[in-house]
Structure 1
Amino acid sequence: MTAVYLLRHGETEWSRDGRHTSTTDLPLTPTGEHRAGDAGRLLGAMRGGEPPALVASSPRTRALRTAELAGLTVGLVTEDLAEWDYGDYEGMSTPQIRETVPGWTIWTHPSPGGETAEQVGARAARVIERVRAALSDGDVILVGHGHFSRVLVATWLALDPHAGVHFGLEAAAITVLGDERGTPQVKRLNVPPALD
C-alpha cells in the first residue's frame, strides 16, 4: 500500500519561539538541522528502500534544507506547499496578536493581509489532487510547514480546513496519510524523529 508522508521542516528560531512564519525565509537552527537528519533516518525506517514516486517541497529554505538533510531528492517545488500566509501577523506570536485581538487563533479569526482558511484549503486540495495521481506509482513525500500541513490532513479526510486545529505537527515530525479500502485515513500523526 502506498502512502503520503508529510514532513514538517526542522526548527527555526521563529518556530521555536512560537512566532508565525510564512513568507519570511529563515534558516534552520542547529537543533533543527540535527532533527531534520534524524527525521530522514526515521522516514527511511518507516518506508523501506523503495524510491518514492514523488518528493515535493515548499520553496522556503527551511523546507528545502530539511529535505536535503533528510536525504530526499526534491522533484517538485511548489508554492502550493507554502505555509499559511499570516499577512500582517507575520513574525508575531499568538500572545502578541491577542493584545489587540482577544481570543485570536489562526483557525477562528482572519489574518489581515493574509490567507483565509478557505484559500489554504484550496491549495491543499490542489496538492491532494496531484498526490493522488502520483500514488499509483509509489509513496509521496511532502516537505512543508505546520499550519498548512494540518489543513492538508483535514482536507485529505474530507473535513473543513478549520478542522486542522485538531491535528498537531511539531518541527521535523512525520505524519502518514493513507486509505483503508478507499476511505482516507491518518496512519500516523506527529511522529517525532527522536525522543529528547
Structure 2
Amino acid sequence: MSSEPDQRSQRIVLARHAETEWSITGQHTGRTDIPLTDAGRDAAVELGKRIDGYRFDRVISSPLVRARTTARLAGYDDPEIDDNLLEWDYGDYEGVTTADIRADRPGWELWTDGAPNGESPDEVTARADAAVEHAVGICESGCDAIVFGHGHMLTALAVRWIGLPIAHGKHFRISTGSIGILRWKRENRVLDLWNDRSHLTSAIDDI
C-alpha cells in the first residue's frame, strides 16, 4: 500500500452481519448460507442508521446471504462481492459449537489449530491480507470503504491490518450487527473502533 499522506486518510468500516439462528446457538457458521432472523433484519436496519451520513467510496460484501442482506437492509443494495470475505471454512466443525468440539478435543483453539478438512490459520491469513488489499488497493488517494462480512473473517482483517499474527484473533470479541473502524495514525495502521453496538438497544445484554 502507498504511504503517501493522502492515502493515510483512509478508513475501512467493518460491519458484521446481524443475527442468525446459528449465531444464537453458537454453532460455527462458515459456508452454510443461512438467513438473518427477524431480529437480525431489524438490527441490520439499525446498523444502517448508525452509519448514515458516512460517505463510502467502496461498498464490499461477502457473497453469503447473511452479509448481503445486512448490507441491503443497511442501505447498500448492490455491494461489490469479494470471495476473500467468505467466513472461515470450518470443515468438519461446520455447525458445531466450541463446547462440543472441546468435549472431543480439549483445548482446541480455532486461531491456532484451524479446522480439520477446513482452513488453516495460514490460509485464512492469506485471504485476510488479500481482502484488505482489495478494500484499499485501487484507490489512487485516500478513500473510505465499508466491508460487510463475518465474525472470524472480519477479526482476521483487523488483526492483519495492525500487523499481528493471526493467532491474536482469539483476543478480539466481535458481536453480530457490530461495526469496527480501521484507519491510519500518521504512518501507522490502527484499530480506531471495535465491536460497537451502540445503535442496538440489545447491546446492554452484552455488558
> Which residue of structure 1 aligns with residue 200 of structure 2?
194
Query: Which ranges of structure 1 fall in alignment gaps of 5 or more residues?
Result: none
Query: Which ranges of structure 2 fall in alignment gaps of 5 or more residues?
Result: 1-8, 203-207
> Which residue of structure 1 aligns with residue 153 of structure 2?
148
Aligned length: 192
2:136 to 127, 132, 137: 132
Amino acid in structure 2 at the alignment position of 1:37: V
Percent identity, aligned pairs only, is 38
Q: What whole-Å deviation, never above 9, does each CA across 1:155-175 have from its counterpart, x for those lacking one?
A: 000111111112211001000
Check if 1:33 corresponds to 2:41: yes
> Which residue of structure 1 aligns with residue 5 of structure 2?
none
**Does the C-alpha gap of structure 1 residues 164 and 78 become closer, same or farther in structure 2, counting only changes over 3 Å?**
same
For 1:73 and 1:187, the matched residues in 2 are separated by 26
Q: Could you state the TM-score of these two structures normalised by the residue count of structure 1?
A: 0.93
> Which residue of structure 1 aligns with residue 173 of structure 2?
168
State whether residues 12 and 147 of structure 2, in contact with CA within 8 Å, keep that contact through their aligned partners in structure 1: yes
2:65 to 44, 61, 67: 61
State whether residues 60 and 135 of structure 2, in contact with CA within 8 Å, keep that contact through their aligned partners in structure 1: no
**In the TM superposition, what are the counterparts of 1:71-86 in structure 2 within 5 Å?**
71-86=75-90
Amino acid in structure 1 at the alignment position of 2:160: T
Query: How many angstroms does 1:134 deviate by?
Result: 4.4
State whether residues 53 and 138 of structure 1, in contact with CA within 8 Å, keep that contact through their aligned partners in structure 2: yes
State whether residues 175 and 190 of structure 1, in contact with CA within 8 Å, keep that contact through their aligned partners in structure 2: yes
Tell me how large the CA RMSD over aligned residues is: 1.3
SS at match of 1:80: helix
For 1:110 and 1:132, the matched residues in 2 are separated by 27
For 1:149 and 1:114, the matched residues in 2 are separated by 18
**Does the C-alpha gap of structure 1 residues 68 and 177 become closer, same or farther in structure 2, counting only changes over 3 Å?**
same
For 2:14 and 2:171, the matched residues in 1 are separated by 16
Q: Could you state the TM-score of these two structures normalised by the residue count of structure 2?
A: 0.89
State whether residues 58 and 145 of structure 2, in contact with CA within 8 Å, keep that contact through their aligned partners in structure 1: yes
For 1:24 and 1:195, the matched residues in 2 are separated by 28
1:120 to 106, 121, 124: 124
State whether residues 107 and 117 of structure 1, in contact with CA within 8 Å, keep that contact through their aligned partners in structure 2: yes
For 1:185 and 1:95, the matched residues in 2 are separated by 33
Query: How many angstroms does 1:105 deviate by?
Result: 2.0
Q: Post-superposition, which runs of at least 4 consecutive aligned residues in structure 1 deviate over 4 A?
A: none
Amino acid in structure 1 at the alignment position of 2:106: P
State whether residues 151 and 162 of structure 1, in contact with CA within 8 Å, keep that contact through their aligned partners in structure 2: no
